[in-house]
Structures are given as C-alpha cells and as structure tokens.
Amino acid sequence: MTADGIIFDVDGVIADSEYYFTNSCALFLNAQGIDVSYKDIIRYLGQPEMVVVRQIRKDWHLERYDEKQLFDLLYADYVKKMASGEVHPMEGLERFLDILMQKNIRTALGTSGSIPHVQEILNGIRLENRFDTWVTVEKVTKGKPDPEIFNTAADELCAMGCQRDRIIVIEDSPNGIRAGKAAGLFTIGLKASRIPQDTSEADAVCYTYEEVIKLISKGE
C-alpha cells in the first residue's frame, strides 16, 4: 500500500526498550519478595507511564510507596541500561527512515510515553532528529487504547500535506493496535521486539522492518 505518512510507536517499535522496562519491574518486584517475571508485566504495556505505575501499585499491594517513589524504583534498572549504551535502534529502522526521507514520506511519533522518556530513548540511540513531529502524553488527555494520540498525530501529518487515508501506524502492543484501529488508520503490528505481544487485531503483521518496507512498496 502507498503511504504519505508513518506514525511510529516508540517502545518496542523504535527501540526494544520494553524488554528493559519489564525486566526492571520484575527485578524490583522480586526484591520485594514478589515472584514475577517479565511475562507478568507485559499486560501493562502500551499505556501511559503513570497509569502503569498505578496499576502495578494496586495489583501487587505496594501502597507503602507513593507513586513517584514507585516510578523511580520500577524504572531504576531500566535507567541504568539506557545510560549504558546497551539500547540500539530496532534492526532495519535506520534504513527504513532513510527510505522514507528519500520518498518524502512524513514521520511522527505517537506514544503514551512522556517527552523526557522519548528524549532519553532517542538521544540514547541517536535518532532525536529523524521524526517530523512527536505526540506524547503531554499533548493529549487520554492514553492508548484511546485513539486520541493517533488522531492528533494524523492531524499534524495532514497539516504537513499528508492524506489521512494514506497514513500508517506501526505498533507492537494490543493497546496501541486498538488505538490505531480506533483512529481509522491502517495499523501494522510489528513483532521485532524480544517481548512477544498479541498483534492479531492489526491490519497486517510484520516481523522485521524489511517486511514493512516490502508491504509499503507494494502499492507504488
């Protein structure tokens, strides 16, 4: 299919950061005597950061910590990994971005993460200047699976000359895919992360960015 614009989720689509976050949460919870693995954390993914923190606080009876304390503790190992240089762009992403630039296809980020969270990731993988616009949780009142993030990103891309029916969302989480679909946008479920998530509701499923390139090139 042809595309004028691409909206990327960040975690699990731009970088495999969810892998580090889920392990960071599991490490902290295990230290509290709670027997969990990263698989127990997957169900929280794709939602705003503080929503995740509140849900973990409630589900695992961690009311002895306030939300800010718990946020810092859950993200502690994640922050170390991000600072260590271990996190890299998803394989094939940089080539895909080069192709989009050559074809004058606009790019946006549509994420439930905050501006500091996105900056931390993009600065770490040196892609901070590769996207035309960012839509983070600060720009909206509702996070995924509500479509507001993707509707806002699509509006911004349309203001740059894109046609709405030629805008594609790339997501990896069920909540994100539902948000993309609810916005009426063609949504690709990307399964390139080490965190396996259900992408069955997506319009198409790709395992690599090479597959995404081929899918988008079919309509040309």
Report the pLDDT averaged over residues 86-98: 94
* Cβ atoms of 220 and 2 closer than 8 Å: yes
| CA–CA gap between residue 54 and residue 33 (Å, rounded) | 19
Q: Is the four-CA dihedral 33, 39, 44, 46 of positive or negative sign?
A: positive
CB 125 within 8 A of CB 87: yes
Residue-wise pLDDT tens digits, 137-188? 999 999 899 999 999 999 999 999 999 999 999 999 999 999 999 999 999 9
Q: Considering only CA atoms, which of 128, 105, 110 is closest in space to residue 9?
A: 110
pLDDT tens digits for 35-85? 998 888 988 887 888 989 999 999 999 999 999 999 999 999 988 888 888
pLDDT at 220: 56
Residues in the chain: 220
Interatomic CA distance for residues 140 and 10, integer angstroms: 16
Q: Buried (b) or exposed (e) across 115-144, using 16+ Cβ within 10 A? A: eebbebbbebbebeebbbbbbbbeebeebb
Q: What is the pLDDT of residue 49?
A: 86
User: What is the residue-averaged pLDDT of the chain?
Assistant: 93
CA 206/CA 10 separation, integer angstroms: 16
Residues 76-110: b if buried by 16+ CB within 10 A, e if exposed? ebbeebbeeeebebbeebbebbeebeeeebbbbbb
Cis peptide before 174 (omega within 30 of 0): no
pLDDT value at 99 more than 80: yes
Q: Which two tokens stand for residue 198?
A: 């259900």
Beta carbons of 135 and 10 less than 8 angstroms apart: no
